[in-house]
Amino acid sequence: MQIARVIGTVVATRKADALANTTLLLVQPLTPHGQPAGRAIVAVDTVGAGVGEEVFFVRGKEASFPFHPAEPPVDAGIVGIVDQRTVEAP
């Protein structure tokens, strides 16, 4: 799992039938100290996250697990909303 910040929404007027009724969000992966890490990606939202929230997400086949037994074509999925996090000094 990785931590990210939701920075936007994605609207797709046409998408695979397996993605019907799903929300797509643009997320920016973060370092442990909350700094941007790499490029933003599109992730399917399974928990009702919103813009500005920190979330944790998974990549790969695991991104489709919340939809079991269906297997929608996703490679990133938001699976939790971060309430609080603490990073100890090195």
Percent of the chain with pLDDT over 70: 99
In terms of residue numbers, what domain contains 36?
2-11+22-81
Count of structural domains, the chain: 1
Burial of 53 (0-12, 13-18, 19+ CB in 10 A): middle
87 domain-assigned: no
Report yes or no on 16 lying in a domain.
Answer: no
The more confidently predicted of residues 65 and 78 is 78
Mean pLDDT value of segment 58-77? 89
- Report residue 10 as tokens: 């994605």
Q: Where are the alpha helices (DSSP H) in 1-90?
A: none
Residue 68 confidence (pLDDT): 86
Kindly state whether residue 7 falls inside one of the protein's structural domains. Answer: yes
Q: Does a structural domain hold residue 52? A: yes
> Does 71 fall in a domain?
yes
CATH classification at residue 69: 2.40.50.220
Dihedral pair phi/psi, residue 56, rounded to 5°? -115, 145
pLDDT tens digits for range 36-45: 999 999 999 9
| Res. 27: pLDDT tops 80 | yes
Q: How many C-beta neighbours within 10 Å does residue 45 have?
A: 22
In the prediction, which pLDDT does 67 show?
85
